[in-house]
Structure 1
Amino acid sequence: MMILGIFKISKYHRPMIKSICLGIICFISLQLSAQGEFYPPKVEISDYTLSKFLTELTLAVGKKDKDFILEHLDPHILNSFGGDGGIEEFKMYWKFNDDSTNFWEVVENILLIGGPSFDGSSDKNSYYLPFTFTNWPEQYDAFEHYLVYGTNVNVRDQPSTTNSEVLGQLSYQIVQITNPEGEMLSENNDWLHITTVDNKLSGYVYRKFLISPIGYRMGFTKTENGWKINMLVAGD
């Protein structure tokens, strides 16, 4: 017989104890390795009308089909948290009739990131994109953290691809935006300085690989006339 603490374990129970211990070790290892990881969910949409609408929307964005967008706007669409909403405001806010509008780029990015699953029996008549907004882990402050969206994204010691050293790589990791030596951060920066949530890696990441949970997101509502876009906003 062997002794584990003050308890005596017979040889018949040794395999079971070994399995339990290995399970605990594996669980702890998994938890540690998964710290800060946030992968896109496996999307299952049970409502065919929503799946069809999202496909049509994706095609319309690719073709820059203004008529499709306008036909599928909710009359009270929310365009910002400081406005009155509505379709006319939408047109002005996005400069929708101008060739220089960034509406198409913004919506394309949202669709590429993807959304959560949708169960019509519980989610009823509304749906939101992207998953970085709907599924964001509560323990990470949405104002201070971003998601490194991609596989093997380089973290560099300088905000440049030239004359800089790669300090490490991250894949779908939540990181904190940091401000080294009083450096001012702005929306125009191509690079942002980040630190992993375990504080093991700090450096610069190219901005296109970083997604804010309170960045642009879209909302849809199901009506008698099909799905309508009822929200396209950023911030809080």
Structure 2
Amino acid sequence: MGLRLFACVCLCLTVAFPVSAQQKAEESKLLPIDEAGKDPSWVNFRNRLVNALAKRDRKFVLSIVDRNIRNSLDSPRGVAAFRKQWDFDAEESPVWRELSAALFLGSAWLKPEKGPRQLCAPYVAVKWPEDIDPFDHGAIISREVLVKAGPSSESATLATLSYDIVPVPDWEVTDQAPEAKQKWVKIKLKEVDGFVPEEQIRSPVEHRACFVKTESGWRLMELVVGIEK
């Protein structure tokens, strides 16, 4: 009888005080994956594309862009729109940085409502938990990331995180040292603010690149921001 009463009380408390989104995030992890990592054609293609991006090889990049590429969730499709959106002919086009960053992490398969399944990099958006707000959280993408008390490598270490999903109040924080180029992201650890280097955390609504394997090879089908399942 006592055990039944205890179980009933616990159930009532769970219903009365449901777990908040922040509590879920504090308990959640997004482990790294690469679902096409054993496909030799993908590995070879990705390596060639990464090298082309490093060399800013416009000819190769355009050769793998699908003619009907999706450039954002609500803008025109096509190569001309891709070139315009990314200021592709400029020396400092952001496409070199954003596409390289997307390919740095592993990939995951996504099946759109229409068309063939796509391989998307990074995996973060595709595998993001549906019950955690993607706009207010981020995923730690490395092991044993040091969480600092302030935006500086000299600040005290509050904790270490590995692949945790954390609340993010601020995505752009400058280093405390005026001459430092390091950028930081402000995160929440329970009720305490902490800071991690920007390259060690990823938002699910950052750019993702999705590819389809065709008879003529891999094609870039979309390079967009946002999240959709």
Judge same fold: TM > 0.5, yes or no.
yes
Q: Deviations over 1:86-138 (max 9, x none)?
A: 111111111111111121121111111121369xxxx9552111111111222
Post-superposition offset of 1:69: 0.9
Please point out which of 139, 142, 150 is paired with 2:134. Answer: 142
CA–CA distance in 2 between the matches of 1:101 and 1:168?
37
Please point out which of 212, 217, 220 is paired with 1:221. Answer: 212
In structure 2, the partner of 1:194 is 187
Post-superposition offset of 1:44: 4.5
CA contact (8 A) 1:45 1:117 kept: no
In structure 2, the partner of 1:132 is 124
Residue 230 of structure 1 aligns to which amino acid in structure 2? Answer: M
Percent identical among aligned pairs is 29
CA–CA distance in 1 between the matches of 2:132 and 2:117?
28
Aligned ranges 1:134-213 → 2 under 5 Å: 134-162=126-154, 164-178=155-169, 185=170, 187=172, 190-196=183-189, 199=190, 202-213=193-204
Change in Cα spacing, 1:188 to 1:102, as seen in structure 2 (3 Å) is farther
Q: Deviations over 1:19-47 (max 9, x none)?
A: xxxxxxxxxxxxxxx93222212544565
In structure 1, the partner of 2:89 is 97
Greater shift in the superposed pair: 169-178 or 40-49: 40-49
CA contact (8 A) 1:168 1:201 kept: no
Unaligned ranges ≥5, structure 1: 6-33, 179-184
Please point out which of 51, 63, 73 is paired with 1:71. Answer: 63
CA–CA distance in 2 between the matches of 1:142 and 1:74?
28
Change in Cα spacing, 1:148 to 1:70, as seen in structure 2 (3 Å) is same
* Corresponding position: 1:54 with 2:51: no
TM-score (norm 2): 0.72
TM-score (norm 1): 0.70
The DSSP-based 3-state class of the residue aligned with 2:223 is: strand
The DSSP-based 3-state class of the residue aligned with 1:68 is: helix
Residue 38 of structure 1 aligns to which amino acid in structure 2? Answer: L
In structure 1, the partner of 2:16 is none
Backbone CA RMSD of aligned residues? 2.9
CA contact (8 A) 1:148 1:209 kept: yes
Please point out which of 13, 16, 27 is paired with 1:35. Answer: 27
* Corresponding position: 1:109 with 2:101: yes
The DSSP-based 3-state class of the residue aligned with 1:41 is: coil
Q: Deviations over 1:151-192 (max 9, x none)?
A: 222212222334x322111121110113xxxxxx46575323
CA contact (8 A) 2:109 2:126 kept: no
CA–CA distance in 1 between the matches of 2:109 and 2:135?
25
CA–CA distance in 2 between the matches of 1:37 and 1:200?
19
Q: State the number of aligned residues.
A: 193
Give the greater-gyration-radius structure (CA). 1
Change in Cα spacing, 1:36 to 1:202, as seen in structure 2 (3 Å) is farther
